[in-house]
Structure 1
Amino acid sequence: MSGADKIIEKILSDARKASEDIIAKAQANAEALVARAKADAEKEAAAQLEKSEKEAQDIKRRMMSVAELDGRKHLLSCKQQVIEEAFEAAKQALESLETEPYRALVKRLILENAQGGDEILCAGKDAAVFSGDFIAAVNEELGAAQRGSVRLSDERVNISGGFVLRSETMERNCSFEALLRMVREEAEPRVAAILFG
């Protein structure tokens, strides 16, 4: 081998070695890039999975909250309906009283609310309840208590039962509707406690 061949062989050998080193480094860099990209992709996939699971849990929690709220609203609505039915039953019981118990109730209400000189306005269907004898008996008790007297008006009012007391300065609504409304405001919490413990 001549000197020129040796030089060429040396250059080729060095070039091969350099190219092998470059290829090895490039391959190592490529493997490192692939490993880093794979790790980043796995990390991103795990983050996305965690985010999706968290979002799913949030959606589930919101749906449960909405369902619980709807359930409470429905239960409250049912309870209010039961209370409404209880007060409606009380109103119907008052309206269906026989004449004598009805007169006793109305008499007590008049005696509790009359201030003397009042005029009694009743529903048309109740005119017979407020007979002359009934008014005389009421006035006898009012007079004994020195509270004046009442008289039955010819005017009728649109109520289901009870009466309205009218004086020169005011009206006192003693209709069943008004009385039940007042009782309901005071008693509804107790009624709810009794019905629903």
Structure 2
Amino acid sequence: MGAEAILEKIRQNAEEEAAALRRQGEERAAAAAEKIRAEAAADAEALLESARRSAEELSRREDLMTGLEARKNALAARRAVVDEAFSEAHRMLLALPAERWEALISRLVLEASETGEEVLEVPASDREKYENGLLERLNAALERSGRKGKLTLAGAPGKMEGGFRLVGPVYDVDCSFEMLLSLVREENEREIARLLYPETRAAGE
């Protein structure tokens, strides 16, 4: 899975993922998570194409090797391909240009906020951006959408590395970059397993 593909997936589905997570209460959140799983699964083949090519190349090399240790090394190499793709996607999210970063954050907030009066937990590294106008722009956008437009920043910085957590009176929405990537990875777990264990895929075909 290429990092660009992962990042594009997040950009394309950020609105749907956040909208699903808006659902009030544990039951609605569970239903939303199921919707996200279905959407991610539908795009799994395209999302993982880059990693599949890398894994297939490693598999061809593995065919030239013999012995248990060689197979263990090949598995580790395939696993590293997947891990590095997600790590690179996280780095790319953190390095988004200011305009694209704000567009992503704004879309997530607008879809995740139920009342417009929630508390935003943000990383210490991003707090200045919110204090220097972003929070005001988010509240203005919420007001235009018919909500209160009274978001506030939490006193303590969030522990996430990128993204935010929206804390509401009934439920919270985790829109950290780590969570977004975790959702993408979780929903493609089966395809990732096929990349890591191509012999299993071949046996089942």
**Short-chain TM bin:** 0.5 to 0.7
Structure 1 residues 157 and 188 mapped into 2: Cα distance closer, same or farther (>3 Å)? same
Residues 68-79 of structure 1 mapped to structure 2, 5 A cutoff: 70-79=69-78
| Greater mean deviation of Cα atoms: 113-122 or 131-140 | 131-140
Residue 50 of structure 1: aligned partner: none
Q: Distance in 1 between matches of 2:85 and 2:189?
A: 10
Residue 95 of structure 2: aligned partner: 96
Task: Output the amino acid matched with 2:92.
Answer: A
Where 1:130 maps in the other structure, the secondary structure is: helix
CA contact (8 A) 2:75 2:196 kept: no
Q: Gapped runs of 5+ residues in structure 1?
A: 1-66
Task: Output the amino acid matched with 1:111.
Answer: L
Q: How many residues are matched?
A: 131
Alpha-carbon deviation of 1:187? 3.5
Q: Distance in 2 between matches of 1:196 and 1:140?
A: 50
Question: Greater relative contact order: 1 or 2 (C-alpha under 8 angstroms, separation 6 or more)?
Answer: 2
Alpha-carbon deviation of 1:73? 3.9
CA contact (8 A) 1:83 1:192 kept: no
Structure 1 residues 193 and 108 mapped into 2: Cα distance closer, same or farther (>3 Å)? farther
Residue 176 of structure 1: aligned partner: 177
Alpha-carbon deviation of 1:124? 0.9
Residue 82 of structure 2: aligned partner: 83
CA contact (8 A) 1:122 1:157 kept: yes
Cα distance per residue 1:52-85 (max 9 Å; x no partner): xxxxxxxxxxxxxxx6655444333221111000
Structure 1 residues 164 and 74 mapped into 2: Cα distance closer, same or farther (>3 Å)? same
TM-score normalised by structure 1 residue count = 0.57
Whose helix fraction is larger, Structure 1's or Structure 2's?
1
